[in-house]
Amino acid sequence: MRGGSFSSGLGVERKILIHTVRGMTTAIFLNGAYGRMGRAIAEVAEEEGCRIVAECDIGSDLSEKLSDCDVVVDFSSHDSTPELAEKCAAEGKPLVIGTTGHNPDESARIQACAEKIPMVWAGNYSIGVNLLIHLTRQAAKLLPESYHPEIVEMHHRFKKDAPSGTAENLLEGVLEGRKWSPDTARRSREGITGERPDQEVGIHALRGGSVVGEHSVIFAGPSETIELSHSAGDRSIFARGALTAAKWVVGKEPGIYRMGEVLGLPDPNAD
- Strand spans (E) along the chain: 26-31, 50-56, 71-74, 95-97, 118-121, 148-155, 185-187, 201-207, 213-221, 224-232, 255-257
CA distance 150 to 16: 52
pLDDT at position 236 over 80: yes
Buried b (16+ CB within 10 A) or exposed e, 237-271: bbbbbbbbbbbbbeeeeeebbbbbbbbebeebeee
pLDDT at position 10 over 90: no
Q: Which of 134, 141, 159, 252 is catalytic?
A: 159
CA distance 242 to 192: 43
Check residue 101 and give its pLDDT.
86
Same fold, 8-121+236-263 and 127-232: no
Query: For the chain, what percent of residues have pLDDT higher than 70?
Result: 89
Given pLDDT bands bounded at 50, 70 and 90, which one contains residue 24? confident
Query: For the chain, what percent of residues have pLDDT higher than 90?
Result: 78
The CATH number for 8-121+236-263, chosen from 3.30.70.1450, 3.40.50.620, 3.40.50.720, 3.30.310.50, is: 3.40.50.720
Lowest mean pLDDT among 13-17, 44-48, 114-118, 217-221: 13-17
Architecture of the CATH domain 127-232:
2-Layer Sandwich (3.30)
Check residue 165 and give its pLDDT.
87
What mean pLDDT, rounded, does the chain reach? 89
Check residue 58 and give its pLDDT.
76
Check residue 21 and give its pLDDT.
42
- Model pLDDT for residues 72-129, shown as the tens digit of each residue: 999 999 999 999 999 999 999 999 999 988 999 999 999 999 999 999 999 889 999 9
- Model pLDDT for residues 37-83, shown as the tens digit of each residue: 999 999 999 999 999 999 988 777 776 678 889 999 999 999 999 99
Q: Is the peptide bond before 268 cis (omega within 30 degrees of 0)?
A: no
The pTM for the full model equals 0.74
- Model pLDDT for residues 242-265, shown as the tens digit of each residue: 999 999 999 999 999 999 899 998
Q: Which of 155, 215, 230, 247 is catalytic?
A: 155
pLDDT at position 2 over 90: no
pLDDT top residue among 105 and 6 = 105
Catalytic annotation present for 78:
no
* DSSP code string of 173-196: HHHHHHT--GGGEEE---S---SP
Catalytic annotation present for 156:
no
Main-chain dihedrals φ then ψ at residue 222, nearest 5 degrees: -70, 110
Buried b (16+ CB within 10 A) or exposed e, 130-154: bebbbebbbbbeebeeebbbbbbbb
| Segments making up each domain of the chain, as ranges | 8-121+236-263, 127-232
Check residue 265 and give its pLDDT.
86
